């Protein structure tokens, strides 16, 4: 597990939200749910919360209102969450971190974990994702690979990077829980 940026010190470490970022299909929701259980915290999936708030699935928001409207909803929901919520485990949609306002809010108020999947492993998951991810539907595989590479550069702004290719969600969540709890103990 690689450690990157220093943590901002305004919020006590044990109260900080744990925020999971990474490309579609990296396992953010599955791992986030397992991690939340292990930490005894509430889990929030940003896409699911946006769907509840706006009364329609993300695919429908893209279809009827367009991607810019969805990005605005993401920004409003996540910047508010970073201001008002503590002690949550939150999984972000794969595109959220491309918005500077979201990135800054997450990095300054939470502990950001990048779930880092290789392109080859992602290809194995591609078929399972295509129907429910509007962002994939109008793109060639070469364009998706380009997006994968350019997003990875932005995901590199994080507190911890975890390679998720070779481990099960349970193993990853357990390793994260141990690391997070050790940080709480260190803080006293």
Residue nearest to ligand S3P (CB): 93
Window of 79-87, 110-118, 131-139, 171-179 that interacts with ligand S3P by CB under 6 A? 131-139
Is there binding between residue 57 and ligand S3P (CB under 6 A)? no
Q: Which listed residue (18, 19, 24, 176) binds ligand S3P by CB under 6 A?
A: 24
Convert 73-138 into a string of H (helix), E (strand) and C (coil).
Answer: HHHHHHHHHHHHCCCEEEECCCCHHHCHHHHHHHHHHCEEEEEECCHHHHHHHHHHHHHHCHHHHC
From the CB of 144, what's the least distance to ligand S3P, in Å? Answer: 10
From the CB of 101, what's the least distance to ligand S3P, in Å? Answer: 16
Is there binding between residue 47 and ligand S3P (CB under 6 A)? yes
User: Which two tokens mark 33?
Assistant: 């749910």
Q: Which helix (H) or strand (E) segment is 162 a member of?
A: strand 160-163
Contacts of 58 (CB under 8 A, 6+ apart): 47, 50, 51, 70, 93, 134
Q: Which listed residue (31, 93, 97, 113) binds ligand S3P by CB under 6 A?
A: 93
CA 13 to chain centre: 19
Q: Which listed residue (27, 32, 94, 110) binds ligand S3P by CB under 6 A?
A: 94
Q: Which residue has the tokens 């991690």?
A: 35
CB nearer to ligand S3P: give 69 or 182: 69
CB nearer to ligand S3P: give 134 or 183: 134
Q: Which residues bind ligand S3P (CB under 6 A)?
A: 24, 28, 47, 58, 93-95, 133-135
């Amino acid at each position: 597990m690689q450690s990157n940026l220093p943590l901002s010190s305004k919020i006590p470490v044990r109260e900080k939200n744990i925020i999971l970022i990474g490309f579609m299909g990296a396992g953010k929701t599955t791992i986030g749910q397992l991690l939340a259980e292990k930490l005894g915290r509430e889990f929030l999936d940003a896409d699911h919360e946006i769907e509840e708030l706006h009364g329609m699935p993300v695919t429908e928001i893209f279809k009827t209102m367009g991607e810019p409207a969805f990005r605005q909803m993401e920004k409003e929901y996540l910047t508010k969450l970073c201001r008002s919520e503590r002690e949550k485990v939150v999984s972000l949609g794969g595109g959220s971190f491309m918005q500077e306002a979201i990135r800054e809010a997450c990095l300054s108020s939470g502990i950001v974990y990048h779930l880092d999947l290789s392109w080859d492993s992602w290809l194995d998951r591609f078929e399972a994702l295509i129907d429910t991810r509007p962002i994939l539907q109008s793109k060639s595989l070469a364009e998706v690979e380009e997006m994968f590479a350019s997003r990875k550069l932005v995901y590199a702004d994080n507190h911890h990077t975890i390679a998720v290719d070779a481990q099960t969600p349970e193993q990853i969540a357990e390793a994260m829980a141990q690391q997070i709890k050790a940080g709480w103990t260190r803080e006293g």
